[in-house]
Each structure stands twice: as C-alpha cells, then as structure tokens.
Structure 1
C-alpha cells in the first residue's frame, strides 16, 4: 500500500475534529478505562481505533492514551487545517503524549523526484520544508518523513545520489536551527522508487552530516526489501532516528506475519532506543474486536522491563 493511499484511508477531513457535540469519551464503555502504559513508545495513527471513537479524532486520541499509548503518528498532518493542527497539539500536550512523524509532501511526491536534480522539484521540496516547520510548532513534532521520489532511468545512480544529497543538505539547513529532523524512508511499494535500502540511506545521511537528516527504518519495508533485520539495523544504527512497524506479509499488527517482533523489539530496547515507533499498518480484523486484538498483539510483543 503506497503512502498516499494510506493517508486517504485514514481521512483528513475536518469533520473528524468536531469540538462540540458527539459522543463523550467517558461514554465509550469499559474499553476506555486506563490500561498500563506500554514500555516501548508505540504510536498509533488516526483511524486505527475508529470503532471505539466514531466521528471524532480527538476522542480517538484520548482512547489511545487510555490504552497505554504514549505517542501519535499522523502522515497527513501537513494537509490538516491550522485549527485541527492546533487542537491536536493541545490535546497531545494535555495527555502527555508525543507527536511522531508526519510526511513532507510537496504536490505528489510519488510522481516527483529529487534524484533528477530538477529545480522545480527542489523548489517544491524546500517550500514544503519551510511550511513543515510551522506545522511542527503547532503539534510539537520533532520528526518529518521524507521520500525522495522516483528513480530516473536516464541518469547514472551516482548522479542521482548526489542530487538527493544536495536536496537533503538544503532541507537540513531549514530544519536544523529548529531542532527538527527529516527522516528518510526507504520503501518497498514499487521498484521505481529511488530510496529502497537501509545502507543506501545510511550513506546519504553520512554525506549530509547533519542531525536534521536521519533514517526512518520501517520494519515492514525492510523485511520485504532486504530482510536480516537485526544485523542490518546494527550496521545503520548510528543514523536511525525513527522506527515504524508492520508485519509481513499483509502489513498488519505484529503476530500476523513472519517477523519475530519480540526479538526485534528486544534488540531495539537493548540498544537504548527512546524514540517513537510508528504503527504504520492496518488492522488484521474489523470492528471493535479487531481493535482490541491489535492492542493485545502489542501487549504480547512489548518488551518486559
């Protein structure tokens, strides 16, 4: 599932954010009773618990907190209204939750490519970076996802890599003074994407040489593209700033596929990782039962401390 489709399914309409009326959080039933906090900082996204908080994303955010989650991830934050962003930021602060990534999107970043070196793509990317600084302030975000776009079959790989490095340097110049970090994500959605492997992303980060340019290591995508998860994370660990989760095949919660998440999470915890781990996947089962099963799946693989 490509990221733009994922965002559409989550839904970005302001109708989700009604600030008055609707079902109160307290009326949602016994499932809303406060549960133990997860030891790992797992971050659900809006829509993941829509059946427990129908119609209002703020109620859904409160439901997440009561289930023990400490962070939120929202790929489409940049497209939300200022009012929505401010209300989400205020609620996160009230709940003591962190904001995970949102996606830096300039137009359709699946049809553009920073690897080409074209000025029009660079200009759009930098404009969106500047806009993202203001959005990050509203929701107290620290990380923003960057996808360089498509591979160009007419240019040598070295030239394309140099073009991406230059774009990331320019982006880092915007984010670094604000203490913000772009996290580049290698993906498996289709073979025409430029950025596909952890070591490739590591090399670009090393060349940019900025705390504002790091790796988003998505376990689902990297299992599909290269496997050998723990060994490859170890090789790239110094540049990993953010982690996302999804089992393979299927891109659903841990325990629905082939990945041994208990071992992977133990490795991450033992490395001293204190960052956010985004739950960028779908629910294996529908309805409230599926949502509760998802929570239980994370209880099972959460590290024991």
Structure 2
C-alpha cells in the first residue's frame, strides 16, 4: 500500500519546523520529510510529532561532504553515522543522500578534480562501504539524482537510469533510489517508463510539477496520467510531495490531496 508524506521545508516560509509540523498535521498530513537535521532541536521535533501523531518519514543525510568526492569518503561515512543516530531519536528509518552536497553558491563542483566516471565510482564505493552499517542499523538510504541547471552544473548524477545502475551495483536492500519527477522531467522526461523500469530499486517518489516546482497541476506534467499508471503498475512505496507553493501554502493543499487520490 502506498504511503504519503509531505516535505515541510518549503512550506510556511519563515515558520519554525515545529510550527510547520503542527500546521500540516491540522491540514490532515500524517507524515513529514525535511532537509537538514543538525541545526534543529531533534528532541523538540520528536515531541511535536508525538503530540500531533505525525511520523518523520525521511530527512537529508547530506551536509558538508559529497558522495562523489572519494577523498572525503571516511568523513562522509562518519556524518552518516551521526545522521543515523538522529534518525533513531525521531523513529525514522530513511535518509536521503544527494550525489553532491550544497553550498551557498550551488552544489559542490568536483569536475576539475574527477572525471565523471571517477565520480560515479566514488559514489558506488562509498555506498558499498556504508551498506554493512545500514543493514546492521536497519536504516535505508535513498540516492536522489538531481538536475544540473545553473549553479548546480557540477551535479554528478542527474539520470534515473544511472542512479539505478549505481544502486544495483551496490547490491544492498538498504541502498535504494529516490525518483523525483520534477528533476526527472527537467533532465530527461519519460517519467513513467523510468519509474516503472526501475521499480525493483525505487521505494520512494518525490512529486512536484515542472518547470517551476510548484503543486501538481501547475505545470507541464500530466499527473492524471502518470499517477494512475503508477498505481496500476503495483507501486507500493512512499509518495512525498516536495514542492514550492505557487501561492499561500494552504491554498495548494487541495491540489496535493487531489493528486494523492489518483494513487488510492
């Protein structure tokens, strides 16, 4: 059965994370995702979720090091260990990992340091090194291919098929692929086939429309077709709405819920 979540990071601009949890709970959402954890009061988040019956479905395990940078693989793994401890406090079993970490100027760019092939090898190596720890801790990580537009031109993995190949090479049940349909549409399209061809390694989807990354129905993606076909395919993972509201946050919730109904 498909389970749903909503990423609260872009919602209610200026509000603290616990306030966002309270507001989305009041709107009927029972699972949340967010980005960074280390700059937040984890105990307070845990208590807010407990009070409102909300589950933390996933958060980002990427911070100051990049999967594609082999020179800092050990530091990356140490950071994941810390992220796992935070996840345990929140009763969360999933971390989202980016190929590159982000700086105030866009994604960290290693193209002058490594060939593309070397970056892919670095990602595969670090994930392979992580796999025994993840299996021991019963923690899943999701590799998320991202777009390489503008300041993110150095993004090492932008293609769904490549991401799936990396995950299959690692060959661990705790290393999986996240398909974000916004990034997929921007980079290569062919959304349905790229998702269904790789369902063996894809337990998690991010939904937002393109090109502006707003609510489903505000752009060029035919969600009525896409979501009906995903349901028919037998997909039974997580669907998380990760989008930037086109207007006031709660004005967009009706379109989010309508999109969700297509998967029920």
Report the TM-score when normalising by structure 2.
0.85
The 1-side partners of 2:206 and 2:132 are apart by: 25
List aligned pairs for 1:107-122, cutoff 5 A. Answer: 107=64, 109=65, 113-118=66-71, 121-122=72-73
Q: Which residue of the partner structure matches residue 163 of structure 1? A: 122
Of 75, 79, 101, 2:58 maps to 101
Question: CA distance change for structure 1 residues 209 and 294 in 2, over 3 Å: closer, same or farther?
Answer: same
SS of 1:99's equivalent in the other structure is strand
Q: Which residue of the partner structure matches residue 256 of structure 1? A: 218
Q: Which residue of the partner structure matches residue 30 of structure 1? A: none
User: Structure 2, unaligned stretches of length 5 or more?
Assistant: 101-108
Q: Which residue of the partner structure matches residue 103 of structure 2? A: none
- Check if 1:42 corresponds to 2:1: no
Render the CA deviation track for 1:4-35: whole Å, top value 9, x for unaligned: xxxxxxxxxxxxxxxxxxxxxxxxxxxxxxxx
The 2-side partners of 1:88 and 1:274 are apart by: 27
Q: Which residue of the partner structure matches residue 179 of structure 1? A: 138
List aligned pairs for 1:8-87, cutoff 5 A. Answer: 41-46=4-9, 48-49=11-12, 55-80=15-40, 84-87=41-44
The 2-side partners of 1:165 and 1:291 are apart by: 38
Name the stretch that deviates more: 201-210 or 258-267.
258-267
Of 38, 44, 48, 1:91 maps to 48
Contact 2:215 2:243 in 1 (8 A): yes
Of 253, 258, 261, 1:300 maps to 258
The 2-side partners of 1:77 and 1:116 are apart by: 22
CA shift, 1:226, in A, is 0.9
Contact 1:216 1:241 in 2 (8 A): yes
Render the CA deviation track for 1:53-94: whole Å, top value 9, x for unaligned: x755334312212212121111012332xxx21221233234
Question: CA distance change for structure 1 residues 47 and 153 in 2, over 3 Å: closer, same or farther?
Answer: closer
- Check if 1:291 corresponds to 2:249: yes
Which has the larger share of helix? 1
The 2-side partners of 1:128 and 1:138 are apart by: 16
CA shift, 1:129, in A, is 0.8
Report the TM-score when normalising by structure 1.
0.75
The 1-side partners of 2:171 and 2:69 are apart by: 21
The 1-side partners of 2:11 and 2:15 are apart by: 13
Contact 2:182 2:207 in 1 (8 A): yes
CA shift, 1:140, in A, is 1.4
The 2-side partners of 1:144 and 1:177 are apart by: 15
Question: CA distance change for structure 1 residues 78 and 152 in 2, over 3 Å: closer, same or farther?
Answer: same
Name the stretch that deviates more: 94-103 or 71-80.
94-103
What is the aligned residue count?
251
Which has the larger share of strand? 2
SS of 1:141's equivalent in the other structure is coil
Larger RCO (CA under 8 A, 6+ residues apart): 2
Of 200, 208, 220, 2:162 maps to 200
